[in-house]
Amino acid sequence: MGKNGKAVICVSTREATLKKRLRRHLKSLGFHKTDEGVFAPPGAGKDVIRTIHSIQRDDRLAVNREFISERFSSLSNTLPPERT
């Protein structure tokens, strides 16, 4: 028990930071806390999950756009013709 009579939970700074970043990321994707205190997606069904993944995919592509542009010609040589 802490000085004020409440239970004190010892959590490492690294673990606390990771949890905070994960909660922030899930909220940015539209997740919300349920009455039980767990995170739930913004809806049910495959379309919701596809939407979440497409947002993440678009963000990843935007970050890597320069890399892809610089190396497209060499990368495209390794792909089957139907993928280019």
Domain segments of the chain: what residues?
1-42, 43-84
Per-residue confidence (pLDDT) for residue 18, from 0 to 100: 92
Per-residue confidence (pLDDT) for residue 83, from 0 to 100: 62
CA–CA separation, 26 and 22 (whole Å):
6
Per-residue confidence (pLDDT) for residue 20, from 0 to 100: 92
Residues of the chain with pLDDT under 70: 1-5, 11, 83-84
Per-residue confidence (pLDDT) for residue 21, from 0 to 100: 93
Per-residue confidence (pLDDT) for residue 71, from 0 to 100: 82
- 48: CB partners within 8 A, 6+ apart: 41, 42
Predicted TM-score of the model (pTM): 0.53
